[in-house]
Chains A and B, each alone.
Chain A
């Protein structure tokens, strides 16, 4: 009965979302506050309905109710409880339900923000957001219903895809979805501004936390997904330029640009139209990601059940929203008030440059991802666009952006002085060059470009520190005064520096992959294999059994220079129900570096194939992403009203008045 009530709640949510879509928009059009005020309770009611239905599905998973098809296909009564719960979103239907749940949750949050969001803006935003909800509810109810029942109920389920039985699955999709869906709120705000023909600093202030929050979660989600692929797929790589990864990278790039352009808009009341366009594009790319991953165009861990019908429905949703919002943009954008003009050498000038680079990089990834698909569907020819393409296009676009970053961070708003800025960075540049030379000398004969990249990373990290330092420490002032000033700095300044330092850490981590060591071997018990400064000795190979899988465990003794450091286990795992093998990598962490062992075939004579990696500083890649997200969160927590402190140049010249 619970399952049926959940199903019915989903159907109720559809009707309520239609009301939430039509009535507030109508109210805003005829200027009727009562109709506009229908939006918040409707949004909250929709959220409660979807939450009820999500909980009903979760209950079906937890109690292993095998009369529900979705549970049969993705669960098993012997599965550990955590994977029973995470299995709810470990499949197509459930993950779409989670998508809608987060979407409606955010709608309810916007509905609750009575004090800060103007009535009309709120009504329009919730109306647009309800349109998205309606589309996805229709999609899930008609083509991917998680509440379909089976008669008679089978006695046992078919278990969850073994690759997904992992803590990573419990965390990665919710993080990524919060990111994707957070951008849907930004999108709804952008459309609302277009409908109303009004966009100002108030709008920017309201949108800022959504953009920053969505961006931070997306950053974490991508990093988590990357780490998960690294340790679960057993290939030892952390990024493959796989179309599914690119599908999440594109909204991230656009979102990063959006985060920066919103700052310009809030502080300087400029870049309005561009910000609106970016908001629309970011969400469009999120939708495109969903389409690529869920339609069966691509095959991967994520394309659970491939069904062409679903692909067509998602494609239709995609076209309606992207086409509709861009048409709205083309129609209304010229009517928006344009913001001020500004000098090229200034904080905002550099931020525009940042936007250009990020948008171009995003376009590069877009082409690299979609061109092979388009070519295949038109001519049937299969080409593979992989790492070489992206190394030659994406990386050169990122390098100048990263080089400019510390300068931009140091430049003043409105009109900056490039030479003065460079002077403030002399020390940082010097240290970065020294580090590069030191690394180069230390690893003479090794990779040539990697020390340069390490230097770049150091430049970013130190440049961020320098920013905090110079802002809090004036010449001649003592330490306690500097500390006081540093504490007094706005949290958004700290957040900015932290996030940019995170970028630097990731760059260093990526550069360090040039010193990876990798070794392949077939080992008998007692044999050793070495990679980099570490040796492993195969101690034994034994079977082990758990409730729903069996392992062949290879235990390795890790040592370095004759010193024993501990044991690490890598295993071939067979999930009994699906009879599907997976490889569990054995990872041992030393500081920020890792030794990564992956078991291969087990031969008849008891010897095993082993793939051993030494990965120096590999953890920095993900640590950097976490620091970036932390910076975003810190900046998000800063709810001060910001004014781009304008400095009068000379005489009576006022601020450039916005063109009216």
Chain B
């Protein structure tokens, strides 16, 4: 309601700005004509210049004569321009008043009516949700970063900060930190596994060739590393080598200590491979939240479109959630949406290849 009152007041003020000068009946004072005034001032200026010695007397004389000639001409034209008064002038003023009273509000309402949305509320960004230890963590990271800036060759520092980065969601920084630590402190199984894990997270759960190489090297150094074995099994599963993956998971379970916390996760993966537990029935801890985010991205892309990066992110997210058909559908829609964007299409195709969606996706 308030908005309508505000708009009404604004309209009234705008109309008044036009009506106000129409209501004033003063006629322009003849003495104030800036044209003749200009030449008068010019003559006075010449006088001042002569008094200050800036102009020679004969220069000043001829300049003054010139200005005076122009003054006379300007005066003559001002006299000729007698202002219109009387009945026709009054009629014109009424016409303009009517125009202002109608045109301004009608046009404003028409234009605003076509493009405005008066009922929409204001959106305020939600205050950033801070973890309980959020501030301390940020301060700690700042300290470590400052230390590393001074002594970048301190591999231990990189090793310490990498998992913190991971926890803060700065996955790419974590990857870099682990890579630096590997370079400075040497390649051991645990560090290689951490590095591989960060790489996997950076790719939303896809075990890339680079990550696989890291896990392979870790296994070579320490054959018992359960995490590296787990990710290699996942890589096999993602490559479609179901049997190999199943064998890996099974042997991993067989070698597991009784109370290992990761056993349920492996069992879960195994069950999914066997098809006995579809993804929807055994959701990962925060799968619902992820699903919500992915759905949000999907609906936004459907309604507003988006960049090639966003489309590929959507495709990858569906694959991670195990929804292959939706990923294929996303690839199809991405191709339509990015039909004019050559580079974008390439990205989508490359991603489809990586995710092994190509065979089905190209079929109509």
Q: Say whether A145 faces chain B, with CB atoms less than 8 Å apart.
A: yes
Interface centre among A4, A145, A200 (most CB of B within 10 A): A4
Residue of B nearest to A1 (CB): B3
CA distance in complex: A148, B18 (Å): 29
A85 in the interface (beta carbon within 8 A): no
| B-chain residues with CB within 8 Å of residue A479 when the two chains form the complex | none
Docked CA distance A120–B77 (Å): 12
Contact B17 A44 (CB under 8 A): yes
A443 is an interface residue with CB less than 8 A from chain B: no
Asked whether B117 lies within 8 Å of A4 as measured between CB atoms, the reply is yes
Residues in A neighbouring B93, C-beta threshold 8 A: 32, 34-35
Cα A337 to Cα B70 with chains together (Å):
13
* Docked-complex contact A12 and B14, CB < 8 angstroms: yes
The answer to whether the Cβ of B121 comes within 8 Å of any Cβ in the partner chain is yes
Beta-carbon contact of A38 and B96 below 8 Å: yes
Q: B69-112 vs A: 1/0 string, CB under 8 Å? A: 01000100100011110001100110010011001111111011
CA–CA, A327 to B179, complex, Å? Answer: 69
B170 part of interface (Cβ distance < 8 Å): yes
Q: CA of A643 to CA of B44 in the docked complex: distance in angstroms?
A: 12
B116 in the interface (beta carbon within 8 A) = yes
- Which secondary structure characterizes the binding site on chain A? mixed
Could you tell me if A648 and B62 are in contact, using CB atoms closer than 8 angstroms?
yes
B217 proximal to A (CB < 8 A): no
For chain A residues 1-29, which have a beta carbon within 8 Å of chain B?
Answer: 1-5, 7-9, 11-12, 14-16, 18-19, 22-23, 26
Q: Which residue of A lies closest to B89 (CB)?
A: A32
Shortest Cβ distance from B38 into chain A, in angstroms?
Answer: 5
Q: How many residues from B make CB contacts under 8 Å with A? A: 88
| Minimum Cβ distance to chain B for residue A73 (Å) | 10
Interface: B180 (CB within 8 A): yes
B42 at the interface (CB under 8 A from A): yes
Are A606 and B121 neighbours in the complex by a CB distance under 8 Å?
no
Q: Does A115 contact B (CB under 8 A)?
A: yes
The reply to whether the CB of A49 lies closer than 8 angstroms to some CB of chain B is yes
* Inter-subunit contact B35/A15 (CB<8 Å): no
Interface string of A100-144 (1 = CB under 8 A from B): 000000000000000111111000000000000000000001100
Give the CA-CA distance A604 to B148 in the complex, in Å.
18
Across the interface, A15 reaches (CB within 8 A) one of B24, B52, B74, B103, namely B103
With A41-B20, A65-B123, A156-B125 known as contacts, the answer to whether A35 contacts B108 (CB < 8 A) is no
B295, chain A: closest CB distance, angstroms: 13
CA distance A118 to B75 in the complex (A): 13
User: Whose C-beta in chain B lies nearest to the C-beta of A145?
Assistant: B115
Question: In the complex, are the beta carbons of B145 and A8 less than 8 A apart?
Answer: no
A430 CB–B CB distance under 8 Å: no
Let me know if B38 and A31 touch, CB within 8 A. Answer: no
In the assembled complex, the Cα of A154 lies from the Cα of B66 at a distance in Å of: 70
Q: Does B173 contact A (CB under 8 A)?
A: yes
B112 and A11: CB pair below 8 A? yes
Closest to A550 in B: B173
Out of B20, B70, B183, which one reaches A605, CB within 8 Å?
Answer: B183
Q: Is A12 a contact of B104 with CB atoms below 8 Å?
A: yes
CB distance from A58 to the nearest CB of B (A): 14
A492 located at the interface, meaning its Cβ lies under 8 Å from any Cβ of chain B in the complex: no
Q: Which applies to chain B's interface (DSSP): helix, strand, loop or mixed?
A: helix
Q: Is the CB of A32 within 8 A of B92?
A: yes
Q: How far is the CA of A594 from the CA of B198 in the complex (A)?
A: 41
What's the least CB distance linking B39 to chain A, in Å?
8
Is B263 located at the chain interface by the 8 A CB criterion? Answer: no
Asked if A31 and B54 make an inter-chain contact with CB atoms under 8 angstroms apart, the answer reads no
Residue A659 lies at the interface, judged by CB distance under 8 Å to chain B = no
A8-B10, A645-B59 are contacts. A19–B38 as well, Cβ < 8 Å? no
Known contacts: A155-B126, A645-B59. The answer to whether A34 contacts B22 by CB under 8 A is yes
A389 CB to nearest B CB, Å: 29
Q: Which of A31, A545, A645 contacts B83 (CB 8 A)?
A: A31
- Taken residue by residue from 26 to 37, chain B's Cβ proximity to chain A (1 for < 8 Å, 0 otherwise) reads as 011000111100
Kindly state the separation between the CA atoms of A378 and B33 in the bound complex, as whole angstroms. Answer: 55
Given contacts A30-B92, A542-B145, contact A41 B125 (CB under 8 A): no
Output the nearest chain A residue to B115 by Cβ-Cβ distance.
A145
Given contacts A8-B7, A16-B18, contact A579 B96 (CB under 8 A): no
**Is A34's CB under 8 angstroms from B24's CB?**
yes
Q: Which of A12, A31, A142, A555 contacts B11 (CB 8 A)?
A: A12
Give how many A residues have a beta carbon under 8 Å from the other chain's beta carbons: 86
- Tell me the smallest distance from the CB of A46 to a CB of chain B, in Å: 9
Known: A14-B107, A34-B89, A41-B18. A488 touches B54 (CB 8 A): yes
A151 at the interface (CB under 8 A from B): yes
* Residue B166 CB within 8 A of the other chain: no
The complex places the Cα of A65 from the Cα of B179 at a distance, in Å, of: 40
Contacts of B41 in A (CB 8 A): 641
Contact present for A541 and B84 (CB under 8 Å) = no
Quick check: A67 and B125 within 8 Å, CB to CB?
Answer: no
| A485 to B11 Cα, complex, angstroms | 58
Interface check B124, CB cutoff 8 A: yes
Among B32, B34, B104, contact of A16 (Cβ-Cβ < 8 Å)? B104
Report how far A18 CA is from B46 CA in the complex, Å. 43
Residue of B nearest to A39 (CB): B21
> Is the CB of A186 closer than 8 A to any CB of chain B?
no
Known A38-B18, A155-B125: A15·B104 in contact at CB below 8 Å? yes
Asked if B45 lies at the interface with its beta carbon under 8 angstroms from chain A, I say yes
Instruction: Identify which of B58, B63, B96, B172 gathers the most chain A CB atoms within 10 Å of its CB.
Output: B96
Q: Using a CB-CB cutoff of 8 Å, which residues 61-115 of chain A contact chain B?
A: 63-67, 77, 115
| A375: interface (CB < 8 Å) | no
Cβ contact within 8 Å between B115 and A147 = yes
Residues of chain A lying within 8 A (CB to CB) of residue B363 = none
Contacts of B176 in A (CB 8 A): 543, 552
The CA of A14 and the CA of B17, in the complex, are separated in Å by 14
User: Could you say which of B34, B38, B170, B176 has the most chain A C-beta atoms within 10 Å of its C-beta?
Assistant: B34
Known: A15-B105, A64-B125, A604-B179. A154 touches B89 (CB 8 A): no
Chain B hits for A3, CB < 8 A: 122
Option from A32, A155, A606, A641 in Cβ contact (under 8 Å) with B183 = A606
Which chain B positions have C-beta within 8 A of A604?
Answer: 179
Q: Within the assembled complex, what's the spacing in Å between the Cα atoms of A201 and B38? A: 9
- Whether B152 lies near A42 (C-beta < 8 A) is no
Asked if B137 is at the interface (CB within 8 A of a chain A CB), the reply is: no
Contact A116/B34 with A4-B3, A4-B118, A31-B84 known, Cβ cut-off 8 Å: yes
Among A19, A32, A153, the residue within 8 A (CB) of B99 is: A19
In the assembled complex, A202 has its CB within 8 A of some CB on chain B: yes
Contact of A35 among B42, B96, B106 (CB under 8 A): B96
Instruction: Give the distance to chain A from B196, nearest Cβ to Cβ, in Å.
Output: 15
Which residues of B have CB within 8 Å of A40? 21
Q: Does A334 have its Cβ within 8 Å of any Cβ on chain B?
A: no
Give Cα A117–Cα B33 distance, bound, in whole angstroms. 9
Docked complex: B117-164 residues within 8 A CB-CB of A: 117-118, 120-126, 128, 141, 145, 148-149, 152-153
Chain B, 165-202, contact with A by CB distance < 8 Å: what is the 0/1 string?
A: 00000101100110110010000000000000000000
Query: In this complex, what residue of B is CB-closest to A76?
Result: B125
A563 to chain B, nearest CB (A): 23
For the complex, give the distance between the alpha carbons of A654 and B64 in Å. Answer: 12
Q: Which of B32, B66, B118, B141 contacts A646 (CB 8 A)?
A: B66
Within the complex, which residue of B21, B34, B62, B112 is in contact with A202, where a contact is CB–CB below 8 Å? B34
Among A11, A23, A33, A555, contact of B96 (Cβ-Cβ < 8 Å): A23
Cβ A141 vs Cβ B111 within 8 A:
yes
Once bound together, how far apart are the Cα atoms of A35 and B89, in whole Å?
A: 9
User: Is A424 an interface position by the 8 A CB rule?
Assistant: no
> In the assembly, what is the distance between CA of A21 and CA of B332, in Å?
52
Task: Out of B24, B35, B103, name the residue touching A118 (CB < 8 Å).
Answer: B35
* 4 further A-B pairs in the complex, CB-CB below 8 A; given A3-B122, A66-B123, A604-B179: A8-B116, A32-B84, A141-B115, A643-B66
Interchain Cβ contacts under 8 Å between A and B, 16 examples: A8-B108, A11-B112, A26-B92, A31-B83, A35-B92, A38-B18, A42-B17, A63-B122, A65-B123, A118-B35, A149-B120, A525-B152, A542-B145, A542-B148, A545-B145, A655-B66
